[in-house]
Amino acid sequence: MENHLKLTYSGVLAKYGELLDIPAHTQPVTLLEGNTPLIPMPRLAQELGGGFELWVKFEGMNPTGSFKDRGMTVAISEAVGRGVQAVICASTGNTAASAAAYAARAGRRAVVIIPQGKVAAGKLAGAVAYGAEVIQIDGSFDDALNLVLEISQHYPIALVNSLNPYRLEGQKTAAFEICDVLGSAPDWLCLPVGNAGNITSYWMGFKQYQDLRHTGLPHILGVQAAGSAPLVLGHPVEHPETVATAIRIGRPARGEQALQAAEESGGRIMAVSDDEILAMQRQLAASGVWVEPASAAGLAGLKHELLAGRLDLKGQRVVAVCTGHGLKDPDIIVRQFTAPKMLPAELAALEDAIMGGGRK
Ligand X SMILES: *Cc1c(COP(=O)(O)O)cnc(C)c1O
Considering the rule CB under 6 A, would residue 73 count as an interface residue with ligand X?
Answer: no
Judged by CB under 6 A, the residue of 170, 323, 326, 332 near ligand X is 323
Size of the site for ligand X (CB under 6 A): 18
Pick the closer one to ligand X by CB: 128 or 163.
Answer: 163
Considering the rule CB under 6 A, would residue 295 count as an interface residue with ligand X?
Answer: yes
Tell me if residue 53 falls in helix, strand or coil: strand
Pick the closer one to ligand X by CB: 327 or 353.
Answer: 327
Considering the rule CB under 6 A, would residue 195 count as an interface residue with ligand X?
Answer: yes
Say how far apart CA 160 and CA 79 lie, in whole Å: 9
Segment near ligand X (CB under 6 A), from 101-109, 118-126, 174-182, 288-296? 288-296
Say how far apart CA 297 and CA 182 lie, in whole Å: 23
Judged by CB under 6 A, the residue of 11, 62, 64, 68 near ligand X is 68
Say how far apart CA 181 and CA 36 lie, in whole Å: 11
Cα 204-229-60 angle, rounded to 5 deg: 55
Cβ-contact 106, 96 below 8 angstroms: no
Cβ-contact 219, 266 below 8 angstroms: yes
Segment near ligand X (CB under 6 A), from 106-114, 137-145, 190-198, 350-358? 190-198
To which H or E segment does residue 206 belong?
helix 197-213
Considering the rule CB under 6 A, would residue 126 count as an interface residue with ligand X?
Answer: no
At a CB cut-off of 8 Å and minimum separation 6, what does 34 contact? 11, 12, 15, 62, 69, 70, 173, 174, 177
Q: How far is the CB of 220 from ligand X (least distance, A)?
A: 12
Judged by CB under 6 A, the residue of 56, 196, 225, 243 near ligand X is 196
Considering the rule CB under 6 A, would residue 192 count as an interface residue with ligand X?
Answer: yes
Summarize as ranges the residues that interact with ligand X (CB under 6 A). Answer: 66, 68, 93-94, 192-198, 246-247, 292, 294-295, 323-324
